[in-house]
Structure 1
Amino acid sequence: MFIWTSGRTSTSYRHDERRNIYQKIRDHDLLDKRKTVTALKAGEDRAILLGLTMMVCSIMMYFLLGITLLRSYMQSVWTEEAQCTLLNVSITETFNCSFSCGPDCGKTSQYPCLQVYVNLTSSGQKLLLYHTEETLKLNSECSYIPKCGKNYEESMSLVNVIMENFRKYQRFSCFYDPQGVQKNVILTKLYNTNVLFHSLFWPTCMMIGGIAIVAMVKLTQYLSFLCERIQRINR
């Protein structure tokens, strides 16, 4: 009687020990699963944050470009391209300018004023040519304004090179105002269609990338929810 009871107690002990081992394994698996779910949830949150950050940055870039580049592009009246023929190019006079030579240092210098008169082929008018739209704003008497520097001879040398190029290539493309408000032409547009396209291309790519990241994370979460729901139904 004592031996039979002892054997039963030993068998029950082994069964309880085996059940404890299974329980520990199950708890360990649940813990690993929770850690995996937590890690995935943190990764999804970071991915969504990245996507939202990319979208916000692209919106800010659109805003900055809209008030700078796009605004200047829309306000430009030199929209039509035509052929210009050189009539006269000369250095008329010198103008004073100021330049920075370091912190708390400002000095004055001079630059030569280059004037270029052309014949607009489409209308036959004699017009003053400007390098860009900004040249007209800086000094309406000069076709080209070199960068202000302390060495006047360097500015004069640069202007002479440009003058010789005009004399060499006497027929070239230019832009004019078809409405006739501006009685002048420009050689190069600062903000043309090509510049506008490339300036808006990267913010657009960033916006699309941000939307794609958020959409993929949300799709993954939805598919995971569906899989879990199907597993519960099958059980």
Structure 2
Amino acid sequence: MCCRSFRQTHRSPSSSQCQHHRGGSGKMFFVAGNKAGQGSGSDKKSIYQKFRGYELMDKRRTETALKAGEDRAIFLGLSMMLCSVMMYFLLGITMVRSYAESVWTEETVCTVLNSTIMADINCSYNCGVDCWRSSKFPCLQVYVSVNASDRVALLSHNEDVLEKNSECFYVPKCQKEQTVMHTLIVDIGERLRAQQQVPCFHDPLERQEAVLLTQLYGRAAVFQSLFWPSCMLAGGLLIILMVKLTQYLSILCEQIGKISK
């Protein structure tokens, strides 16, 4: 019995130590596992933050690039509108004003009565720096009968020719070769005689006795000159409206995204 008691007393410390070691190892394993789980969570959080930072940086770069493009588009639209306004101003004080002040407003048909070459008219042409020489061209006079008013008038090619010489139908560009100008005027006279009836513009109030074959600043010329500035103005306005519409839609999509989240 003494031996048994001695054995039991001798074994008890070892068993208690084993139990103590087992309990201690379990605690150590639990603590180590907890620390490992905490480390993996922090690593995942740091990786997510990095990706989130990259996404924010990319988003900021994209927004900056879009804002710069929108500013350039608005600047382009405003520049186009400004250029069109300047062109309107220039055309308004030149072509549109001449068209508004013109008295040859009514178009009719004129019958050619007489087409003859009169005396030669002196002219001068440029032969170099501070060099001018004289030449001559034949003066073609054309008389027509205005069918709308049954009156006889002198026909001129356009307003510019009428201002240069009211007696001649056409004033060619002065040049050294007189034969060339003479041939040109003779050809014009023959064509008018062969055609007999030509469209013409006259003053219905008879403030001007002359009649014009063509209008230098007519409706077609004014329309063609105002067409391109109008297109430029419409294009600039359309660019600005598209940019503003894009900005409005982007803000609306962002608000909808925030509401859905």
Task: Report the counterpart of residue 259 of structure 2 in structure 1.
Answer: 233
Superposed displacement of residue 162, structure 1:
0.3
Q: 2:226 and 2:99 mapped to 1: Cα distance?
A: 13
Superposed displacement of residue 104, structure 1:
4.5
User: Of Structure 1 and Structure 2, which has the larger fraction of its residues in helix?
Assistant: 2
Task: Report the counterpart of residue 199 of structure 1 in structure 2.
Answer: 225
Aligned counterparts, 1:177-188, within 5 A:
177-188=203-214
CA deviations on 1:103-146 (whole Å, 9 max, x unpaired) are 55433322221111112223332211100011110111211111
Task: Report the counterpart of residue 147 of structure 1 in structure 2.
Answer: 173
Superposed displacement of residue 219, structure 1:
1.4
Q: 1:100 and 1:232 mapped to 2: Cα distance?
A: 76
Q: With structure 1 as the length reference, what TM-score do the two structures score?
A: 0.93
Task: Report the counterpart of residue 98 of structure 1 in structure 2.
Answer: 124
Q: 1:93 and 1:76 mapped to 2: Cα distance?
A: 30
Range 98-107 or range 163-172, more displaced: 98-107
Range 223-232 or range 99-108, more displaced: 99-108
Aligned length: 235
Q: Please, which of 84, 102, 115 is the counterpart of residue 76 of structure 1?
A: 102
Task: Report the counterpart of residue 42 of structure 2 in structure 1.
Answer: 16
Range 109-118 or range 150-159, more displaced: 109-118
Q: 2:175 and 2:135 mapped to 1: Cα distance?
A: 7
C-alpha RMSD over aligned residues: 1.7
CA deviations on 1:59-117 (whole Å, 9 max, x unpaired) are 11111111111111111111112221222211212222222345554333222211111
Q: 1:217 and 1:16 mapped to 2: Cα distance?
A: 44
Unmatched runs of 5 consecutive residues or more in structure 2:
1-26
Percent identity (aligned)? 52
Q: With structure 2 as the length reference, what TM-score do the two structures score?
A: 0.84
Q: Highest CA radius of gyration, 1 or 2?
A: 2
2:237 counterpart SS class: helix
Task: Report the counterpart of residue 160 of structure 2 in structure 1.
Answer: 134
Aligned counterparts, 1:146-185, within 5 A:
146-185=172-211
